[in-house]
Amino acid sequence: MGQLNGDFVYPGQRRANQLATLDHLGLFERPLGNPETLARYANPLLAGGTLDQRARAYLHSNCSHCHRPNGLQSDGELPTIDLRYQVPLLQAGLINQPPVRGEFGIPGVLLVKPGSAAQSMLVVRMKTTVANVRMPAIGSPVVDGQGVALLSAWIDALNTCP
């Protein structure tokens, strides 16, 4: 829900918090209360958060629906990584971990290799359009260039394991 906790400009140029609006419309099982007390994630594609906050928000919004405890990967296996925003990076299972689905001919590739997006499987799989390899596996066959650029910059900025 943290990705919806922010202002949105509605028709008629009315600006309001998205969660407050949805709550007002009765779209939640229980009232949410004050959105200021709830998690709020940075917009991955806009200034307004650190590079780390924006990258983690992107991973949460686009990847954590499968890559989390009890989530399912496209092949039905339980995930080995946890990309939810609130999970500390060192506990996410990404940093300096070998890929479990092959190296795709890239020497020294790791899931996330700090300082090297080119040797990070996270970026490699986002950049490909090959079925059963690309991430995300569903949603669109088009590479998200902005997402790739964001995560590449984030990984390149990780000089050492945080």
pLDDT in tens, 120-149: 999 999 998 887 788 887 777 889 999 999
CB 46 within 8 A of CB 26: no
DSSP 75: T
CB 82 within 8 A of CB 120: no
**Residue 118 bridge partners (DSSP):** none
Q: Is 160 exposed, middle or buried (0-12, 13-18, 19+ CB in 10 A)?
A: exposed
* Pairwise pLDDT comparison (161 vs 126), residue with the higher score: 126
Q: What is the pTM of this model?
A: 0.84
Give 13-29 pLDDT, tens digit per residue: 999 999 999 999 999 99
CB 113 within 8 A of CB 155: yes
